[in-house]
Structure 1
Amino acid sequence: MTDTGSTDEQTPDGLLGWCLVANVARETAHGESGLDIQRGTKHFPVGALLWIPRVRWDPGHCRWPAVGRHRGNSRRYINMVVRAQDLENFRVKGVYSEGLVRSLNGYLHDPAAPRTLQNPWSREHAQNWADGWNQPREPIRIDGRSRPWLSVPNPPPAEIQIDGETLHLAHYGTRGAHYSRTPPPVERAPEP
């Protein structure tokens, strides 16, 4: 007969669940065209640990609900919506605190079950998200048309293959990489 129960190596004592976490980036871009560079965010200092619950609703493109300790009060957890671009160093951590569980559950928290996460991450799912967000990617435009489901590494390659077609990097700026179907012009060296 084999033991099918979990071992101490798989589930640490006191673990209430797994959660995706990240730190607030050292520099965050705000204002017109992202030219206003600030340290941290309005509500969280640089390096603050933010717990990111599984999204039950979509607050906007690349914005997530997060739980962390506010700049002015380091004792209580608060819930805020943060921009993904203001976060770095994504990873998975275990949840051990009932106070943190209460904040992660939000309005779904059940006082009769204070140690139960209502919408928990699996460790593998959270790790997949962390791996995806730790690799910087850039959105692309092809011949002036946005393709939000496609992205390239940062810095973008000079050529990419999509659906058997070779696309050439035409421009790289603050709004991502712009690719064109026409190859770049060939520069001719003057003859001596």
Structure 2
Amino acid sequence: MTETASAEEHTPDGLLGWCLVANVPRETAHGESGLDIQHGTKHFRAGTLLWLPPVRWDSGHGRRPAVGRHRGNSRRYVHMIVRADDLENFRVKGVYSEALVRSLNGYAHDPAAAPRTLQNPWSREQAQNWADHCNRHREPLFLEGHRYAHTRISVPNPPPAEIRIDGETFHLARYGTRGAHYSRTPPPVEWAPEQ
């Protein structure tokens, strides 16, 4: 007998909805120029699984709401705003816990009417599209003589040694947690003694 139902039609038992999730990376960059390297974040340990509900409005500055188990009390879920740069390994995961549903719903949770219903759920396809978009990580590009990052152009990770923009060649000057910095000056040639 062949299976005619698609994977989308099959719903696991106890599934309350789908959610976009990500992990807190082992190291996060903070401070001026991102030189202060920390393990995890202030509120979440490295490796913590964070559940990311859909946003109804953009909170700005690359930040988004997240639900996870706090660094100080790993038994309860907390709702925090986190930097998107402090997240990695985006994927889709099923929600099975009523406690998690309460946290994801936040103030919109109504325990009397629908205790097991997500108020603002992701569709599986929508969450997967977001995960794919977030995992295609591209680095911001800073050009010599420009104060801010070049908003229209980004480079892959790791960045190339040279790029051409508007007919001009730029050379990779430095690369760090805040992006790739390019200069018009080529890197110095290393001197090697003649043999």
Mapped pair 1:154 → 2:145 = no
Alignment deviations for residues 94-124 of structure 1 (CA, whole Å, 9 cap, x no partner): 0111111111111122221112212111112
Is contact 1:158–1:168 with CA below 8 Å preserved after alignment?
no
TM-score relative to the length of structure 1: 0.79
CA distance in 2, matches of 1:67, 1:108: 15
Instruction: Kindly report which structure 2 residues correspond to 1:132-171, keeping only aligned pairs within 5 A, or say none.
Output: 132-141=133-142, 144=146, 146-158=149-161, 165-166=166-167, 168-170=169-171, 171=173
Is contact 2:70–2:76 with CA below 8 Å preserved after alignment?
yes
CA distance in 2, matches of 1:122, 1:161: 40
Q: Give the secondary-structure state (helix, strand or coil) at the position aligned to 2:11.
A: coil
What is the CA RMSD across the aligned residues, in angstroms? 3.0
CA distance in 1, matches of 2:35, 2:182: 25
CA distance in 2, matches of 1:167, 1:94: 48
Q: In the alignment, what sits opposite 1:95? A: 95
Change (3 A) 1:136 1:129: same
Is contact 2:141–2:180 with CA below 8 Å preserved after alignment?
yes
Mapped pair 1:11 → 2:11 = yes
Residue 169 of structure 1 deviates from its aligned partner by 3.1
Greater displacement, 74-83 / 139-148:
139-148
Q: In the alignment, what sits opposite 1:119? A: 120
Is contact 2:24–2:44 with CA below 8 Å preserved after alignment?
yes
Is contact 1:64–1:84 with CA below 8 Å preserved after alignment?
yes
Q: Structure 2 unaligned runs (5+)? A: 190-195
Q: Give the secondary-structure state (helix, strand or coil) at the position aligned to 2:150.
A: strand
Residue 184 of structure 1 deviates from its aligned partner by 6.0
Is contact 1:169–1:178 with CA below 8 Å preserved after alignment?
no
**Letter paired with 2:135:** N
CA distance in 2, matches of 1:183, 1:38: 33
